[in-house]
Structure 1
Amino acid sequence: MTAQADKDGIKRITHYDTINSSLQNATTTHPRSTTMCSWRSLPTELLIDIMNRLPSSAVRALAATCRSSHSLCLPAIFANVILPSAESLQAFVLHVPRHYGQYILSLSVCTERKSTHLDHFSPTDALVEILSASSRLQSLSLSLASSLDPPKIIQAFAHLTNVHTFEIRNCGLEEDTPLSERLVVSLAASLPSIAHLKLSRISRSAACVDLCDVPYNVPIAMHDFDIPPHPRLGADLALPSLLTIPTLRVLEIRDTWLGGDSKLDFGSNESRSPIEKLLLTGNMYTSDNAAFDNDAYTAWIRACRPSLPTLVLGTALAPKVDIVPLSPSLVSRPEISWDDEEAELPQISHLHIDASLVTVDTLPSTMEVLSNCGITRVTISYGDGTPPPEPLGEGDDFTHQCALDDLKEWQDTIEEFLGSLESGQWHALRQIEVTFGKDVRARWEL
Structure 2
Amino acid sequence: MASTWFALPTEMKLAVVDVLGQEDLKALSRVDKGTYSICVPSIFKDVTLKNWSAVNSFLESVPASYLRYIQLLDFCTANEDPMDSFSNPFSRTRSDAVATFLTSCPRLSRLAMRLSGCLDKSVLPAFSALRDLRDLTISNCGDEAQCPLSERFIVSLAASIPSLEELSLDRITRSIMHAPELVGVYPVVPLVSGDDDIAPHPYLGSDLCLPSLLRIPTLRKLIIRDTHLGDPRWATTPVACKLQVLDLGSCYHETDDYNRLCTERIMAAVGPTIDEFSLTTAVADEVFAKPTVTPMQRLRKLHISPFFPVDSVVDTVSNLAGSPIETLSMQCYEEDVIDMCSALEEFLSLRVERGPEFYEKLRRLDVFVAANEDADVDDEDASAKEDCAERAEAVKRLQEFCRDLQLASQVGKVAVDAITGKTQRSGSSAADDACDKRPVGHC
TM over 0.5: yes
Number of the residue aligned with 2:374: none
Give the Å deviation of 1:369. 3.9
CA distance in 2, matches of 1:210, 1:421: 47
2:175 is equivalent to residue 205 of structure 1:
yes
Number of the residue aligned with 1:250: 221
1:304 match: secondary structure: helix
CA distance in 2, matches of 1:411, 1:44: 56
1:109 match: secondary structure: strand
Q: What are the residue-to-residue correspondences of 1:159-308 with 2, within 5 Å?
A: 159-212=129-182, 215-261=186-232, 264-266=235-237, 271-290=239-258, 293-308=259-274
TM-score after normalising by structure 1: 0.75
2:320 is equivalent to residue 370 of structure 1:
yes
Give the Å deviation of 1:430. 4.7
Number of the residue aligned with 2:58: 92
Q: What are the residue-to-residue correspondences of 1:289-328 with 2, within 5 Å?
A: 289-290=257-258, 293-319=259-285
1:198 match: secondary structure: strand
- 198-207 or 53-62, which moves further after superposition? 53-62
Number of the residue aligned with 2:377: none
CA distance in 1, matches of 2:234, 2:135: 29
Runs of 4+ in 1 over 4 A off after TM superposition: 117-121, 212-215, 422-431, 437-441
Aligned with residue 149 of structure 1, among 92, 99, 120: 120
Number of the residue aligned with 2:435: none
Number of the residue aligned with 1:17: none
**What letter corresponds to residue 277 of structure 1 in structure 2?**
V
2:297 is equivalent to residue 347 of structure 1:
yes
1:122 match: secondary structure: helix
**What letter corresponds to residue 69 of structure 1 in structure 2?**
T
Number of the residue aligned with 2:97: 126
Structure 1 residues 430 and 65: CA distance shift in structure 2, 3 A: closer
CA contact (8 A) 1:262 1:299 kept: no
Aligned with residue 380 of structure 1, among 321, 330, 333: 330
2:11 is equivalent to residue 45 of structure 1:
yes
Gaps in structure 2 of 5+ consecutive residues: 288-292, 371-390, 408-443
Give the Å deviation of 1:204. 1.2
CA distance in 2, matches of 1:412, 1:287: 29
Aligned with residue 35 of structure 2, among 44, 64, 69: 69
CA distance in 2, matches of 1:210, 1:264: 18
CA contact (8 A) 2:227 2:250 kept: yes
**What letter corresponds to residue 249 of structure 2 in structure 1?**
T
Structure 1 residues 355 and 162: CA distance shift in structure 2, 3 A: closer
CA distance in 2, matches of 1:301, 1:155: 32
Number of the residue aligned with 2:439: none
Give the Å deviation of 1:64. 2.2
2:274 match: secondary structure: strand
Q: What are the residue-to-residue correspondences of 1:392-411 with 2, within 5 Å?
A: 399=334, 402=335, 404-411=337-344
Give the Å deviation of 1:121. 8.2
**What letter corresponds to residue 139 of structure 1 in structure 2?**
R
Give the Å deviation of 1:211. 2.0
Give the Å deviation of 1:174. 0.8
**What letter corresponds to residue 410 of structure 1 in structure 2?**
A
CA contact (8 A) 2:321 2:359 kept: yes
CA contact (8 A) 1:145 1:177 kept: yes
1:97-117: CA deviations, max 9, x gaps? Answer: 111111101110111112336
Give the Å deviation of 1:310. 0.8
1:109-132: CA deviations, max 9, x gaps? Answer: 111112336588833122112111
1:257 match: secondary structure: coil
1:297-345: CA deviations, max 9, x gaps? Answer: 1111111142311111122222389xxxxxxxxxxxxxxxxxxxxx842
Aligned with residue 110 of structure 2, among 129, 139, 160: 139
2:129 match: secondary structure: coil
- 402-411 or 163-172, which moves further after superposition? 402-411
**What letter corresponds to residue 181 of structure 2 in structure 1?**
L
- 413-422 or 107-116, which moves further after superposition? 413-422
Number of the residue aligned with 1:10: none
CA contact (8 A) 2:116 2:147 kept: yes
2:351 is equivalent to residue 418 of structure 1:
yes
CA contact (8 A) 1:266 1:272 kept: no
1:349 match: secondary structure: coil
**What letter corresponds to residue 155 of structure 1 in structure 2?**
P
CA distance in 2, matches of 1:310, 1:436: 20
TM-score after normalising by structure 2: 0.76
CA contact (8 A) 1:262 1:295 kept: no
CA distance in 1, matches of 2:176, 2:355: 46
Give the Å deviation of 1:379. 2.1
CA contact (8 A) 1:87 1:118 kept: no
CA contact (8 A) 1:263 1:299 kept: yes
1:352-372: CA deviations, max 9, x gaps? Answer: 333411011112442354232
CA contact (8 A) 1:85 1:114 kept: yes
Structure 1 residues 420 and 186: CA distance shift in structure 2, 3 A: farther
